[in-house]
Structure 1
Amino acid sequence: MKYVSAFDLKRNYESMKDEIKEALDRVLESQRFILGEEVEKFEKEVSSYLEVAHAVGCGSGTDALFLSLMSLDIKEGDEVITTPYTFFATASSIAKLGAKPVFVDIDPLTYNIDTDKVVEYITPRTKAVIVVHLFGLMTPVEKLEPLLKDKGIHLIEDCAQSFGAWRKIDGKIRRCGTIGTFGCFSFYPTKNLGGYGDGGLVTTNLSSLAERIKRLRAHGCSGEYIHEELGMNSRLDAIQAAVLRCRLRHVDDWNRKRRIIAERYRLLFNVYKISEFVKAPSEDEGSYHVYHQYVVRCERRDDLSKYLDENGIGTRVYYPLPLHLQPVFKYLDYRRGDFPEAEKLSQDSLALPMYPELTPDEQEYVVKTIAKFYR
């Protein structure tokens, strides 16, 4: 029996071991471990890659969201619209500031927030909308951005799973994290651009907000031991920045390989005649999906996942319980049935193995095993 893991970091490390060690040695020789030159260089390099004016490193993707909301003075009584089908941090960052997360159902094809429904949930208390570019596919933010701008509502892009993704807007390629007031990135090790620990990034085209994020990430400090406001301790480590500088040079190639793997899955689903049981993820026109996860919709999800595990194939369920049904958000008074598309997806979605080093033979074994299950 073969073994195919859901994700394999070791193969990636083997491919660039010497490059990483050289970067780590550079930091160790400098003995500068918090912020400093490595972080500054990474911020410049990543802002150039994304084509955004400012990039500010921080401690995690969760902190990136929290810092963004803090800098907009989101507070108790405010409302922030977002999706119920995403990682917990998107909504918890809102709630931790005392604001109210307001959920909007998803598009069943893209899994992202249904942009056509957002306007129905806007109230005088709405201060921001957080869209999540889930699993590597950008939300069509061009539908939302002009509307929100007219209403004085901030657009925040949660880009934790979508580094390198883009959409063609008005004939131009626009990368995720460059359209809204803020883009929020995670560099958790399994991400398309992942570090070797926690790390995050906030992007913006507004200089005043970039400066405020820099203050807030360091206890609201504007000078040595001078604190203008209450901030937090969320500084990017130099070691993580050095690793990310190395990995940034390869991320486009890795994303290209992810797209090849995604297309191979689609072809294999047809070859093994399982398309009626397993639905491949969608990629809407004008989008460049980077497949952080390869999430299918399938019949008898839990039974299939168990069968694949018994045959040495790792899978994951993202996410088994939508945010509006989480116990911690009971006070929001949402009920089962409020967001039917998100609830359906939580019951039939399954992430198959996906990483740049996944081989064609391993992919065929995965699909062949799925076919055996349904036969």
Structure 2
Amino acid sequence: MTDTSDTRPADSGARDPRQSALHRMMRYVPLIAPVLLWAVPCWVLLYAGQHWPLPVTLAGSALFALGLVVMPLAMARGHGRRQQDAAAIVGDTLLGTGWVLFTWSVLLGVLLRLALVLAGVGEGQDRARIVTWAVLGVSAVLLVWGYAEARRVPRVRRLDVQLPRLGAGLDGTRIALITDTHYGPLDRARWSARVCETVNTLEADVVCHTGDIADGTAERRRAQAAPLGTVRATRARVYVTGNHEYYSEAQGWVDLMDELGWEPLRNRHLLMERGGDTLVVAGVDDVTAESSGLEGHRAHLDGALSGADPDHPVLLLAHQPKFVDRAAAAGVDLQLSGHTHGGQIWPFHHLVRLDQPALAGLTRHGDRTLLYTSRGTGFWGPPFRVFAPSEITLLVLRSPDRVG
């Protein structure tokens, strides 16, 4: 691999896009979300058509009230200035639990109750109890399963991607993608080592990490990130920043990845040459970099492609899928991204789609550009993955001119 360009400041055309609908909604989430997450399940499980003994009602109401109070306080202590890992674990776990209870209280509280009415099963009290035990049972199963899904080593997802401009000499190029490892309050050093061992079995030419390495500074999460230094690639290991790096001293993460032998592609590119053909491997800082105020950090695609032959195909690393609009305008052939987690806990993916053009998998944008969005290798916050499995991705690039 040959380094052919330098980090450059963004021009006025590379500023962050106008605030999305999701961002506007997020202003009000801290106020209304905790109340909804705990009040709705409390009503469905304890009051809607229920006639529990008074001690049960009081005890249950106290538990929901405790969740409503403890969750935001723990998250503030865990993710605010204090950065207390124990508090973060409590707050994040309550957030995930509340979300699952809320979701299934709404769904089963309406749909199952309606089905029971239409089927003529039971009376008001009996139907209410069926709904209650169904909500509790489904939620418990999903939380246990979701925790196991979040903590396991991701399965490898393999796919061939044909790039019309890829030369025959580069046919079969193997690109391994990990992203959103989110090393954090729960110590996952052993998990990290096993992920890296799995990546090494793929015998990739290029291994990519498209950001959100951790929640916390590089100094604080070094032990969990250290196994990344064992990752092997025949040509290069490349990395771009995600939005979470800019919450935790991004330059420290850039420096640590460089120390571990990864090539930070901060608005620049490398060339991969084989069989007389060339692939441009480029990367940009996350789109939130400019607003972070960190000097020299901003997404600058023109800088990343500066000096590259426009006739060569381009593989671009950009943390957020929504960067694909700029990539398509520049004629990029394939963009690799993460960020979405595939929604992580169903049905949160509906909110993700308000902010991003793709949730997971391979999608086309414009005449030339393909976007692959990973569901992520780790998890953020709540230690659960429900109907959004994590992944390590192996993309095999295919040329239309390949022999055989």
TM-score normalised to the size of structure 1?
Answer: 0.27
Give the structure-2-normalised TM-score.
Answer: 0.25
Larger Rg: 2
